[in-house]
Amino acid sequence: MAVLAIDIGATKFAVAIVDSAHEVNFRQDIPTTQLWDGLSHALLNIRDSQNEKITKIGIGSAGPINVQRGEISPVNIAQWRNFPLIPKITEIFPDAQIAMVGDAVALAIAEHAIGAGRGTRNMLGMVVSTGIGGGIIVNNKPLEGDYGNAGYFGHTVVGDYDGGCNCGRLGCVEGYSSGTSMVRYAQNNGWSGADFVVLAASAQTGDKNAIAAIEFGVNHLAKAIINIVQIFDLHHVVIGGGVTEAGDIYWKPLEKAVENLSTSLGLVEPIKLLPAQLQRNAGLIGAAMAVGLE
């Protein structure tokens, strides 16, 4: 049976119907700036375009989320604090069964089942883009936590740098290592580009500020990765999100930084970093799987 999947991201929302073969159909992308107006419009569209009644809905949302109350407060969507997403969706689909997970948990579920993490028993899934999120699979199951935020490590602290993190704290890994943060770091040192795609291209041509910003980001992200894999005894890390699409100019220094930090005393065995395979549909597929896709 097909499932309605909803992906709430910092820059865009996506809705789609995911079928039992994990195919994503009727996908619509809506800029996050349209908030509930845009999202509800897309949901009504998809409801009215289906022949069958929608009975299952899976949501993957930027965090933090609160699965007990059905609310979300994404750090990078300032207008939504304790936004009652599930109650709102229930107004449109009163009889549907609804499940919600973090967006990186959704990625972890999908990549573990049919992507780069296939065959692993335990893994960390991560998203590195406007923000940084994580989701942990232990014994082939996603870890949920009390409120659905297990593995959400973007706002754990790896230093005391003021990276301008939207949560307001100093030293968050997101303030060092998100695409936005690496761009800001380079700009503060005199680089004049606008976004991470341009930053990666500058690094490719040998621009010292661009290379330094990426190094700064990956070195701190590596610390956060090592913290998590050490606590949970994980050795496979699947990484998705726009930043990783930059390829080797990002990936090679990240691999090196993780390797450098993981060699002491056998605290962790060698860690495999794997690029996500499902790319832009991972969040939707994982969200659908979270509510049950069969």
Six-digit token string for 291: 């509510």
- Rounded CA-CA distance 209/203 in Å is 8
* Per-residue contact string for residues 106-135; x = within reach of Zn ion by CB under 5 A: ------------------------------
Rule CB under 5 A: say whether 167 interacts with Zn ion: yes
Per CB under 5 A, the list member of 67, 77, 172, 254 interacting with Zn ion is 172
* C-beta of 169 vs 235, nearer to Zn ion: 169
* C-beta of 63 vs 70, nearer to Zn ion: 63
| Angle formed at CA 214 by CA 262 and CA 175, multiple of 5 degrees | 85
Segment interacting with Zn ion, rule: CB under 5 A, options 6-14, 30-38, 159-167, 195-203: 159-167
| 26 contact partners, CB below 8 Å, separation of at least 6 | 16, 17, 46, 49, 50
* Per-residue contact string for residues 37-76; x = within reach of Zn ion by CB under 5 A: ----------------------------------------
Segment interacting with Zn ion, rule: CB under 5 A, options 151-159, 181-189, 225-233, 274-282: 151-159
Segment interacting with Zn ion, rule: CB under 5 A, options 155-163, 233-241, 248-256, 271-279: 155-163
Rule CB under 5 A: say whether 155 interacts with Zn ion: yes
Segment interacting with Zn ion, rule: CB under 5 A, options 12-20, 49-57, 158-166, 184-192: 158-166
- Rounded CA-CA distance 199/237 in Å is 24
The count of chain residues that interact with Zn ion, using the rule CB under 5 A, is 5
Rule CB under 5 A: say whether 165 interacts with Zn ion: yes
Closest by alpha carbon to 253, among 228, 224, 222? 222
- Rounded CA-CA distance 134/225 in Å is 10
Report, in Å, the least distance between residue 204 CB and Zn ion.
Answer: 29
Q: For the chain, first and last CA: distance in Å?
A: 6
Segment interacting with Zn ion, rule: CB under 5 A, options 27-35, 44-52, 61-69, 152-160: 152-160
Closest by alpha carbon to 101, among 199, 8, 184? 8
8 Å CB contact between 186 and 193? yes
| Angle formed at CA 222 by CA 140 and CA 233, multiple of 5 degrees | 35
* C-beta of 47 vs 169, nearer to Zn ion: 169
How many CB atoms are located within 10 Å of the residue 195 CB? 11
The site for Zn ion (CB under 5 A) is made up of: 155, 165, 167, 169, 172
